[in-house]
Amino acid sequence: MFKKFDEREMVSGVNNPKSSVQKGIRNSILENYPAIETYLDTIIPKKGDLKIVKCHEHIEILANSKGEPVFFRHRDGPYMPTLRLLHKYPFILPHMQVDKGAIRFVLSGANIMCPGLTSPGAKMSNLEEGQVATIVAEGKEHALAVGKLVMSTQEILDKNKGIGVENIHYLNDGLWNMKNVK
């Protein structure tokens, strides 16, 4: 999604939402990520400068009062945390661990294949199709990517073929390199 994202070309507008819209966004994020409740006021203050960055291809990015991108979504899908936010709060999303051989492919934007999730060195959380997960790598401390499961964990184990997780946002992509919003 963010492989060829260039903020100079892709951003079509930035606006500050009304407090009612901001409250709806906060509730939506809390509903999807209950573990973040105690930190939500730090990430997105109740009454603060939340910015909604509208981009081409129906992408919406939420930036906090400092202008740092913290959440994003595509069309009317769920808000997903950015990698910068996940590096600060790694417990927000469940983890899917890939083996060492998959690291370079994940960092180049490739989807995560089932064999990379079922081999020795890989670990999976018990998740359903469509859930959002953090992609971490064997032997590494921080997250590599944010992905959406194409099939459930059980299906990945049963089939062990094809794409298991769609790579949505990864280190050094356009969203990672995005400057703070003014």
Question: Whose structure tokens read 């129906």?
Answer: 58
Query: Is 95-170 in the same CATH topology as 7-82?
Result: yes
The sign one gets for the Cα dihedral 71, 72, 78, 83 is: negative
Nearest to 140 by CA among 166, 107, 175: 107
Enter the tokens of residue 85: 């936010």
The pLDDT tens digits of the residues spanning 24-64 come to 999 999 999 999 999 998 888 877 788 999 988 889 999 98
The pLDDT tens digits of the residues spanning 124-153 come to 999 999 999 999 999 998 999 999 999 999
CATH architecture of residue range(s) 95-170: Roll (3.10)
Does pTM surpass 0.75?
yes
Q: Which CATH class is domain 7-82?
A: alpha beta
Mean of the per-residue pLDDT values of the chain: 90
Considering the chain, what percentage of its residues have pLDDT values greater than 90?
A: 63
Domain ranges of the chain: 7-82, 95-170
